[in-house]
Amino acid sequence: MKKYVSIILLSLLGLTAVRAQNYVPAPENLKAREEFQNNKFGVFLHWGLYSMLAQGEWVLHRENLDHMEYRKLASGFYPSLFNADEWVAAIKASGAKYICFTTRHHDGFSMWGTKFSDYNIVDATPFKRDIVKELAEACQKHGIKLHLYYSHLDWDREDYYPLGRTGHGTGRKNHGEWKTYYEFMNNQLTELLTNYGSIGAIWFDGLWDHDQDPDFDWQLPEQYAMIHKLQPACLIGNNHHQVPFEGEDIQIFERDLPGENTAGLSGQDISRLPLETCETMNGMWGYKIVDQNYKSVETLIHYLIKAAGRNANLLMNVGPQPNGELPEVAVARLKAMGDWMKVYGETIYGTRGGDVTPRDWGVTTRKGNKLYVHVLNLEDKGLFLPLKNQKVKKAVLFKNGNPVKFRQDKEGVVLEFPEVPNDIDYVVELTLN
């Protein structure tokens, strides 16, 4: 009897050991994380059938449209002005180093020629072109990383069941099994990670759909392991509004900078993983014809700077038009950001959050022995920096190299400016010993 008990105990211990194993990122994954952090700026693209209704990406759920009627949009989806090369060129001109594209949003429509559903842009539309393929080729040509958004939830498929808190009004009368839906997702993810070259990240969304039943098993560990097996360097992020789960490589904050929670979606603790905050250039993610409330150039640049000062990347969203063009206003904003980055990119790219934590007046970023003081909102000619453990060797204005007067004591450093800062970003470069 003791023998059998011992065997059982050993078996249980062995099982426990397996379950307790921590995810160990591959060397190429760790390298990709560092590159991701260095890139600092990416552009998000929410584009799909929903653009045709011009009411945003949640229109199927929000308006309780019948999903079979919604599907008919595909027969008229012909984005004749889509040009992947023009998209990527415009995005590269902004200074962005990567693109995150919505391969399949919550409406269930796939923007590539998937073999696992005929509800896709190649088989269901007269356009017949694989958007993901063309974007992947253009990104490779222009030297920009491609990240792929993929929704965990689906308002169309009947095997996305049990239903979460959204998509109840889309007319699904029958319900299949989660098992087939999970298999479907993994088959699609395998396609995306096999047929389109190197993918920088898989950006998941939708787990919040079951936040009212937190015990729901999304079977993430197996899915994450599959992704890392197919492409070890591919980063995994999940917009679940929680502390990162094991197997994830980046932490995402939605509509807020890390440490802020004005939108009510980013109250989670900040992890030690690379950070990314996603925000919209106007009000919506997908194209909405009445939404012309685009953020100013200054606001967008400040958001990028504030993200960098919090050791995070900015993923700024643009919703392409139904004809396949990027909105003219968005292109103009991207160009203006790019013009600024041509001058000040050195103070953003490759940096980490600086020695002085974010303040009302601005933030700091650091690279090597250079500390960049980004003054965004100051009404005085002087600024105190609590640098108790750092010796300042030199201080200059980044824009022209002119020296900045400073005094240092055991409490920190006082910078003395020749004028009240009024630039979009008044950058002082400190050389530290």
The DSSP letter of residue 142 is H
Domain with CATH 3.20.20.80 in the chain: 28-351
Burial (CB < 10 A; 0-12, 13-18, 19+), residue 235, is buried
Tell me: pLDDT of 10 over 70.
Answer: no
Tell me: pLDDT of 371 over 60.
Answer: yes
**Spatial separation of the C-alpha atoms in residues 98 and 403, rounded to whole Å:** 35
Fold of domain 362-432: Immunoglobulin-like (2.60.40)
Which tens digit of pLDDT belongs to each residue from 338-355? 999 999 999 999 999 999
pLDDT at 108: 98
Which tens digit of pLDDT belongs to each residue from 37-90? 999 999 999 999 999 999 999 999 999 999 999 999 999 999 999 999 999 999
Main-chain phi, psi angles of 109, to 5 degrees: -85, 130
Work out whether strand 275-280 and strand 405-409 pair parallel, antiparallel, or are unpaired: unpaired
Which tens digit of pLDDT belongs to each residue from 99-144? 999 999 999 999 999 999 999 999 999 999 999 999 999 999 999 9
Tell me: pLDDT of 278 over 50.
Answer: yes
pLDDT confidence tier of residue 389, bands split at 50, 70 and 90: confident
pLDDT at 6: 36
Nearest to 37 by CA among 333, 350, 339, 293: 350
The DSSP bridge partners found for residue 253 are 277
pTM for this model (two decimals): 0.94
CATH superfamily of the domain spanning 28-351: Glycosidases (3.20.20.80)
Domain with CATH 2.60.40.1180 in the chain: 362-432
pLDDT mean over 290-308: 98
pLDDT mean over 30-39: 98
Percent of the chain with pLDDT over 90: 94
**Spatial separation of the C-alpha atoms in residues 184 and 298, rounded to whole Å:** 43
pLDDT mean over 1-17: 35
pLDDT at 21: 53
Q: Which residue has the tokens 């889309």?
A: 170
Contact yes or no for 276/253 (Cβ under 8 A): yes
Please give the mean pLDDT across all residues of the chain.
94
pLDDT confidence tier of residue 8, bands split at 50, 70 and 90: very low
Between residues 253 and 214, which one has the greater pLDDT? Answer: 253
The DSSP letter of residue 255 is S
- From edge to edge, which strands make up the β-sheet containing 362-367? 352-353, 362-367, 370-375, 426-432, 392-397
Nearest to 225 by CA among 18, 2, 1, 10: 18
pLDDT at 117: 98
pLDDT mean over 346-368: 98
pLDDT at 284: 96
**Spatial separation of the C-alpha atoms in residues 260 and 107, rounded to whole Å:** 30
Contact yes or no for 112/163 (Cβ under 8 A): no
